[in-house]
Amino acid sequence: MTDMKKSKIVITGGAGFVGSYVVEQLIDDGFENIVIVDNLFRGSRENIKESLLTGKATLIEGDIKDRNLLDNLFSGCDYCIHLAALRITHCAEHPREALETMYDGTFNVLEACVKHKVKKIIFSSTASIYGQADKFPTDELHHPYNNYTLYGAAKMANELMLRSFERMYGLPYIALRYFNIYGPRMDTFGKYTEVLIRWYRMIKEGKAPLIYGDGKQTMDFIYVGEVAKATIMALKSDCKNEVFNVAFGKETSLYELCNLLLKAMCSNLKPQFVDVPLERRKVEVFKRKADVSKAKKLLAFRAEISLGEGLTNLVKWLDSLEMTK
């Protein structure tokens, strides 16, 4: 393991939400040669400021569509954590960009891994590949045919590319299907701010948080730090050529989530139910609950940070942003 910590790790998308935690935890763990490649389309230097100051991580501002850049970066690389991707909504609005980043970009990363004899690649897949699952808890063998999103299609294609590259060239891989990630540094300013951020703002203004519909839709929330932990455990593990769900393994309804957020913000307000606005009527996923037993068994990973605790961290961070406004 001592040797592994000296190895060169290339992290695509490492300046993003999840990536910035992965970089931080790798440094805390003793890794000292981390190369982040990120085009800063969504990520930022601010996210990785502390990590860059340690001198153990460097940021190359570049794009995974740039094959020459990847060829240079991957020279001498031992491991790769491939996180760079576009968001689900962005893929739907700009399908060709999705093709270029998610399919071609990932292909470029895999090609560079093979050329430079990378020992293992960890890939960030998603629960979106299940679409609205038929079975709960949903295990990794669940079929992908309920997915109707281009983002989910690209991630599934990426997993299949990994399988074929392993078979053709012997490139070892692990694909992690992340579920609903939340925590400090999550997107607050995008066009599609997440429900938690919308509620946070309403509660701050003393207004009852609005729940569209009956609030019974469920998700399987996992704290961002735990996702980073699972990613590093997958990297360090002897396990290879496997796919894992990365989730808490517990479903939480939007109604419960709203109440937990109110509690984390010490608010006495009550959620208010309203009709779903027209533009939001096409909800494709009503229920999510992952089977997390495979990750527990093969990677010894189990999420431990409760939603209440994680939301308290999120609120602290959001409050700190408010203060700097």
Ligand X SMILES: NC(=O)c1ccc[n+]([C@@H]2O[C@H](COP(=O)([O-])OP(=O)(O)OC[C@H]3O[C@@H](n4cnc5c(N)ncnc54)[C@H](O)[C@@H]3O)[C@@H](O)[C@H]2O)c1
17-25, 199-207, 254-262, 278-286 -> range binding ligand X (CB under 6 A): 17-25
Binding residue for ligand X, selected from 8, 42, 142, 229, defined by CB under 6 A = 42
Cβ atoms of 177 and 220 within 8 Å: the answer is no
Residue 16 interacting with ligand X (CB under 6 A): yes
Region near ligand X per CB under 6 A, out of 35-43, 275-283, 291-299, 301-309: 35-43
| 169 annotated active-site | no
Site residue total, ligand X (CB under 6 A)? 29
- Check residue 158 for interaction with ligand X (CB under 6 A): no
Kindly report each contact of residues 310-313 with a partner whose C-beta sits within 8 Å and lies 24 or more positions away, as own/partner: 310/182, 310/183, 310/221, 310/223, 311/182, 311/196, 311/260, 311/261, 311/263, 311/264, 312/264, 313/183, 313/184, 313/223
Q: Which is catalytic among the residues 21, 151, 200, 223?
A: 151
Q: How many helices (H) and strands (E) does the chain have?
A: 13, 13
Which one, of 145, 230, 243, 137, lies nearest residue 181 by Cα? 230
Residue 38 interacts with ligand X (CB under 6 A): yes or no: yes
Query: Of 62-70, 255-263, 288-296, 310-318, which part binds ligand X (CB under 6 A)?
Result: 62-70
Cβ-based nearer residue to ligand X, 7 or 188: 188
How many CB atoms are located within 10 Å of the residue 130 CB? Answer: 26
106 is an interface residue for ligand X by CB under 6 A: no
Out of 63, 78, 251, 291, the only residue in the binding site for ligand X (CB under 6 A) is 63
Interacting span for ligand X (CB under 6 A) from 27-35, 82-90, 231-239, 316-324: 82-90
Nearer to ligand X, 71 or 208 (CB): 71
Residue 252 binds to ligand X (criterion: CB under 6 A)? no
51, 106, 124, 217: which one contacts ligand X (CB under 6 A)? 124
Query: Which helix (H) or strand (E) segment is 131 a member of?
Result: none
**Strand 252-253 relative to strand 218-219, pairing:** antiparallel
Q: Which residues contact 204 (CB under 8 A, 6 or more apart)?
A: 265, 322
Q: Do you find a cis peptide bond into 137, omega within 30 degrees of 0?
A: yes
Beta bridge partners of 121: 80, 173
Within 209-248, which residues bind ligand X (CB under 6 A)? Answer: none
Please report how close the Cβ of residue 218 comes to ligand X at its closest, in angstroms: 15
CA distance to 84, 133, 186, 218, 295, per residue, from 193 (Å): 20, 24, 9, 18, 30
| 8, 9, 11, 17: residue in contact with ligand X (rule CB under 6 A) | 17
The Cα–Cα gap between 124 and 17 comes to 12
Least distance to ligand X from the beta carbon of 136, Å? 18
Q: How far apart are CA 44 and CA 224, in angstroms?
A: 17
Stretch that binds ligand X, among 14-22, 138-146, 251-259, 265-273 (CB under 6 A): 14-22
| Residue 183 binds ligand X (CB under 6 A) | no
Distance of CA 305 to the CA centre of its chain: 16
* Catalytically annotated residues: 151
Chain positions contacting ligand X, by CB under 6 A: 12-13, 15-19, 37-43, 63-65, 83-87, 101, 105, 124, 126, 178, 180-181
